[in-house]
Amino acid sequence: MTTAPFVIVGGGLAGAKAAEALREQGFDGPLVLVGQESHLPYERPPLSKDFLAGKVTREEFTVHPETWYQEHDVELRLGAPATALHRDSHEVDLADGGRLGYGKLLLATGSRPRRLPVAGADAEGVHYLRDLEHAAALRAALDTAQRLVVIGGGWIGLEVAAVARERGVEVTVIEAAHLPLLGALGPELATVFAHLHRDHGVDLRLDTHLAEITTTGGVATGVRLADGTTLPADAVLVGIGAAPNVGLADRAGLAVSDGVLTDASLRTSDPDICAVGDIANAKHPVLGIRVRVEHWATALHQPATAATTMLGGPASYQELPYFFTDQYDLGMEYLGHAPAGHYDRVVVRGDTASREFIAFWLDARDRVLAGMNVNVWDVTDAVKALILAGRPVDTKRLADPDTPLEDVPTQAR
């Protein structure tokens, strides 16, 4: 095996789990983890949930303590992001002027918040949420703010809205679509989250477009809508999605299209480079399509597959997309892949009004594509089995809460 280091570019959850997986799978050569932030790798879901609410400290969602990296002989190069990738010479340039040679390279560069292209978007008091500093600044703002305007009704925007309301802040959410989460859940289930937030006092403004963020002396004072309405605010959160950090890969000539293109083993167009996490647009052997998933579970699980690939073994990432959210008294898990426009109908067992149910997205042949359990627990294995079966289901039994999911009949292939 080459003595050149294995280098991981990306200091988040995916990078830390990749280092862990390489050591667990027997790699005992030099291993370097390069991170843009100066913090030890940490998990990001708490940034819009418990950390923002002041319920947990950074140490509680740090992936490994510093001693773990020492004990496993992982060199940390934090606060010095990679700036250039030289594939011919197998080298990576760092922002601090350093240059690292590599035998195998893993890209785990994550994503960044999409910027708002309107006047006032960079004013003081306008917040984005991606890293620890963002979350700390927003948490401090919520300590004194009486009014928060959230631009964007996606997962981040709604999770922050829930935390803010629980802290007594008045919240207005502005969403251009006619429902929040419309692209992720479709109209049938997006209404659940619209009702949830309105029930908790959020001023949810749908089919609404922003003209500018108003400012005084460089400080945000509110927002002006396209219809001329002005909404005052003590703080503004922009949550209009994220963009994968593919600049390093693109400049190096790797195949890039809505992320870094990989095969099912997470290998890129360069056989010595793999990609994981938010940036990996991977062929999915179960779904039969390319999938790029910006969620915690992908960063958690993909690195083990990439580590096997880097070590020369056969590997294929086959986990179904998974994500979760906690908002007010609603807890939810979603498994599978059925974005708006890519399913035929939704079947629900339980009561959406009481927000205790399981929803299933089906194709035209009544095969289960995805499932979402809301305040119903310990069912993801059964939902996964229905998806992986790939066979039409008895929809009446599927909707019947008295029929265990394991007993829902499926037709023969």
pLDDT by residue (tens digit) across 97-116?
A: 999 999 999 999 999 999 99
Among 137, 132, 133, residue whose Cα is nearest residue 62: 132
Task: Read off the pLDDT of each residue in 61-76 and give the average, rounded to a whole number.
Answer: 98
Rounded CA gap, 401 and 403, in Å?
Answer: 5
Q: Which CATH code for domain 329-407? A: 3.30.390.30
pLDDT for 1 equals 45
Task: Read off the pLDDT of each residue in 242-259 and give the average, rounded to a whole number.
Answer: 98
- The CATH superfamily assigned to 6-112+243-310 is FAD/NAD(P)-binding domain (3.50.50.60)
The answer to whether 6-112+243-310 and 126-240 have equal CATH topology is yes
Q: Which CATH code for domain 126-240? A: 3.50.50.60
Task: Read off the pLDDT of each residue in 230-252 and give the average, rounded to a whole number.
Answer: 97
Rounded CA gap, 192 and 346, in Å?
Answer: 13
Report whether pLDDT(411) > 90. Answer: no
pLDDT for 83 equals 98
pTM value is 0.95
pLDDT for 413 equals 53
Alpha-carbon distance values, 175 to 179, 294, 396 (Å): 7, 20, 35
pLDDT for 412 equals 60
- Identify the bridge partners of residue 203 per DSSP, sorted by sequence position: 172
Assigned token pair, 23: 């050591």
Report whether pLDDT(198) > 90. Answer: yes
Q: Give the domain ranges of the chain.
A: 6-112+243-310, 126-240, 329-407
φ, ψ for residue 195 (rounded to 5)? -65, -40
pLDDT for 177 equals 97
φ, ψ for residue 149 (rounded to 5)? -110, 125
Task: Read off the pLDDT of each residue in 386-399 and give the average, rounded to a whole number.
Answer: 96
φ, ψ for residue 17 (rounded to 5)? -70, -30
Please answer whether residues 318 and 337 qualify as being in contact, where contact means their C-beta atoms are separated by less than 8 angstroms: no
pLDDT by residue (tens digit) across 298-321?
A: 999 999 999 999 999 999 999 999
Among 194, 117, 210, residue whose Cα is nearest residue 153: 194
Rounded CA gap, 268 and 249, in Å?
Answer: 10
Least confident range of 144-153, 226-235, 266-275, 402-411: 402-411
Which residue is it, tokens 């590997």? Answer: 315
pLDDT by residue (tens digit) across 42-58?
A: 999 999 999 999 999 99
pLDDT for 155 equals 97
Report whether pLDDT(326) > 60. Answer: yes
Q: Within a 13 Å sphere around the CA of 171, how many CA atoms are in the beta-carbon half?
A: 28
pLDDT by residue (tens digit) across 79-96?
A: 999 999 999 999 999 999
pLDDT for 410 equals 82
Task: Read off the pLDDT of each residue in 251-279 and give the average, rounded to a whole number.
Answer: 98
Average pLDDT along the chain: 96
φ, ψ for residue 408 (rounded to 5)? -70, 120
Residue 191, classed as helix, strand or coil, is helix
